[in-house]
Amino acid sequence: MKIKTNKVSGGGICAALCTVLLYMSTILPAKVAFLFATSIVMGICILRYKSLAAFLTYFAASAISLFLAPKCAGYYIVLFGIYPIFKLYIERIGNIYAEYVVKFVIWNIHLTGLYIVLNALGQGELLNIATVWMWICGIVLMVIYDLVFGIVINAFYSTYSKYL
């Protein structure tokens, strides 16, 4: 019972932290840094509480962010919140080339979803300007994001694994 309570309360704290970071991304100029920080929080949630709690945290933070930070909710829901969970399962493949093929496919699905969500939220005008170039840049940024995310999570895990 204590373990279940620990997961619920920890997931709630992670969801609250993600929501605060998303709200901060709407009022402060460092939007991308705060969105990346939400990914790190989700990565830590996965390390600490495993995948079910991470899914519940993702859904809770997504629902709350729709009300408190609607301008950044689409980015979180489609990309920054769910990608750490997908990354967990993708990296179980064990073959780095197959992992990157799957990551590219999922990333393109995410970009398509982001395009649809942002259009639905009335923020799609930015995406219509140079869609092809943005798509190409998005793929390059995916590789950079994936590498930096992995480095940060590995550094966190190697430093704090004894506390997890």
Express each pLDDT in 73-99 by its tens digit.
888 887 889 889 888 888 888 888 999
Which residue from 56, 52, 51 is spatially nearest to 18, judged by alpha carbons? 56
Given a cut of 90, is residue 126 above it in pLDDT? no
Averaged pLDDT, 9-21: 90
Global pTM value: 0.81
Name the pLDDT band for 116 (thresholds 50, 70, 90): confident
The CB density around residue 35, as the number of other CB atoms within 10 Å, is: 20
Please state which of the ranges 1-10, 22-31, 50-59, 135-144 shows the lowest mean pLDDT.
1-10
Per-residue pLDDT, 128: 61
Largest CA distance in the chain: 53
Best CA proximity match to 42, nearest among 94, 84, 4, 79:
84
Which tokens is 83 given? Answer: 């990608």
Alpha carbon of residue 141 to chain centroid? 14
Q: Which residues contact 163 (CB under 8 A, 6 or more apart)?
A: none
Q: Write down the pLDDT at residue 38.
A: 93
pLDDT higher than 60, residue 1: no
Cβ atoms of 19 and 68 closer than 8 Å? yes
Looking at residues 33-56, what average pLDDT do you find?
88
Q: What is the mean pLDDT of residues 60-72?
A: 89
